[in-house]
Amino acid sequence: MSNKDQKIKKAIQYYQGNYQNLHKEFLNFLKIPSVSTAEDHQDDIQKAADFLVKKLSILGFDKAAQHPTPKHPIVYGEYIVDSNMPTVLIYGHYDVQPPDPLNDWHTPPFEPAERGEYLFARGASDMKGQIWATISALEAIITAGQPGMNIKLLFEGEEEIGSPSLDAFLESHKALLQSDFVLNPDAGMIAPDKPTIVYGLRGLAYFELRIFGPKADLHSGIFGGVVANPANVLCKLIAGMHDENGKVTLPGFYDYVRDLTENEREELSRIGLDDNFYKEMSGVSALHGELGYTPVERACARPTLDVNGFYAGYIEKGAKTIIPAFATAKISTRLVPNQDPILVHEGMKSYLEANVPDTVTWELEYMSGAPAYINAEETPGLELFIEALKETWHMQPLMKREGGSIPVATSMKEILGVDSIITGFGLPGDQIHSPNERLHLPTHRKGVEALIRFFA
Ligand code: BES
Ligand code: MN
């Protein structure tokens, strides 16, 4: 047995032998409600950052510390084995999405509960579970010997709100973060038996649109028919953002869209995400989308526009007859390579300038944006990572483009000049961002083994 194989064997044995302890610690991590968007969770964000710094220090990481930002701290630590070895920068986010709607959870979101092979908690999959897989693998490999590469860890607390402080931190810490490639486990797999590497992600431009009408809510009998209703106006505006073929109508929206090549279309069709997959996963009876593209193409490689939230008028139980004073919608676009979120913002403004009637006033806030990401084919470390997945699952990993967004991948490429291996051990059924988020524990444990092989 080679040195490396012995090290792997020892590390996996360590992991299996210490699983209970590691799992207990993981549960404590999940119990911290580190919701980044909520003002009243500042203390919990702090607790989650403290938790990670403490763990890194115990594992023997150097420079384990928090770096304050205008919002939530960034946690950094490094384990340098030999300055001649390649260095991986591992990214994670310790913040989570709000758990709402709370009533839909079968057990409370921050009291992790195991049912069958699943662990239920907010963040279990996205992505405290992925951070924990990484830390578990590092603990195992450090105990069994030395990793075969230098390790730098960066955990932010603002991913779920668009990483507002990250770019400035990358800019001002280029030397500290110097590395050969990034490992970003914030994506996931297609199925428990299909290890997956994501080579492309969609970007994002996120807006809040506010329409203002009368100076206060009005009696809809006295004023209905004379005063424009901001909710009606907003609905019409939103309806006009798509045409009858499911295309987005914002001026210039498709100008720079890089169309799919025949090769890409074939590759996407081969990964087996058919109509039934999307129906089963979502619980809808029929699919919809842009004419001329298959569901997997629409979800992974075509740009889209969606309302994420809508607020207007009386939303409590019962009926109230009013013309609301204002109406608000949160609208996101998912972008594909070569689309520029700034130009999409311009397109949204032009659309509104041309289409908002003079019976109301409006305000558009650009909340966040990031371009799409496609990684270089010769990303360092990719071959090794594929090898590690292959040895663990005994099959060739799938290469997939993903519809979700991980803006940090683009930032790391642009600011630090490094490509990312985007992966993860979550599953499509994990209900991330939804009630009853869960983690498939057997897949998670396999993920740890794959990471051990990789770090070895
Ligand atoms: N982990 C997700 C992104 C993701 C989801 C990748 C599914 C692959 C598969 C990440 O935490 C996330 O939700 N990102 C946001 C980004 C946004 C807030 C800027 C997203 O995609 O909505
Ligand atoms: Mn995530």
User: Among 95, 131, 186, which is best to mutate for testing ligand 1, by the most ligand atoms less than 8 A from CB?
Assistant: 186
Q: At 273, list the tokens.
A: 């995400």
Decide which of 370, 389, 419 is a domain's last residue. Answer: 370
CATH of the domain at 405: 3.40.630.10
Q: Is the CB of 159 under 6 A from ligand 1?
A: yes
Q: What does the pLDDT profile of the chain (456 residues) look like in tens digits? A: 888 999 999 999 999 999 999 999 999 999 999 999 988 899 999 999 999 999 999 999 999 999 999 999 999 999 999 999 999 999 999 999 999 999 999 999 999 999 999 999 999 999 999 999 999 999 999 999 999 999 999 999 999 998 999 999 999 999 999 999 999 999 999 999 999 999 999 999 999 999 999 999 999 999 999 999 999 999 999 999 999 999 999 999 999 999 999 988 998 999 889 999 999 999 999 999 999 999 999 999 999 999 999 999 999 999 999 999 999 999 999 999 999 999 999 999 999 999 999 999 999 999 989 999 998 778 889 999 999 999 999 999 999 999 999 999 999 999 999 999 999 999 999 999 999 999 999 999 999 999 999 999
**For residue 426, which of 454, 406, 455, 396 has the smallest C-alpha distance?**
406
Residue whose Cα lies nearest atom 8 of ligand 1: it is 187
- The reply to whether 72 and 221 lie within a common domain is no
Question: CA-CA distance, 185 to 344, in Å (whole number)?
Answer: 28
Residues 323, 326, 330, CA angle at the centre, nearest 5°? 130
What is the extent of the structural domain holding 156? Answer: 3-201+372-455
- The reply to whether 249 and 314 lie within a common domain is yes
- The reply to whether 31 and 176 lie within a common domain is yes
Q: Is the CB of 127 under 6 A from ligand 1?
A: yes
pTM of the model: 0.90
- The reply to whether 325 and 362 lie within a common domain is yes
- Give domain status of residue 155, yes or no: yes
CA of 335 from ligand 2 middle (Å) equals 18
Instruction: Tell me how far CA of residue 390 lies from CA of 15, 333, 400, in angstroms.
Output: 19, 35, 16
* Contact between residue 320 and residue 204 where contact means Cβ atoms under 8 Å apart: no
CA of 404 from ligand 1 middle (Å) equals 5
- The reply to whether 173 and 32 lie within a common domain is yes
Q: Is the CB of 341 under 6 A from ligand 1?
A: no
- Give domain status of residue 279, yes or no: no
| Type of residue numbered 360 | V
Q: How many domains does the chain have?
A: 2
Q: Is the CB of 419 under 6 A from ligand 1?
A: no
- Give domain status of residue 289, yes or no: no
- Give domain status of residue 283, yes or no: no
- The reply to whether 149 and 10 lie within a common domain is yes
CA of 275 from ligand 1 middle (Å) equals 22
Q: Is the CB of 158 under 6 A from ligand 1?
A: no
Q: Is the CB of 126 under 6 A from ligand 1?
A: yes
Residue whose Cα lies nearest atom 1 of ligand 1: it is 186
- Let me know if 104 is exposed, middle or buried by CB neighbors in 10 A (0-12, 13-18, 19+): exposed
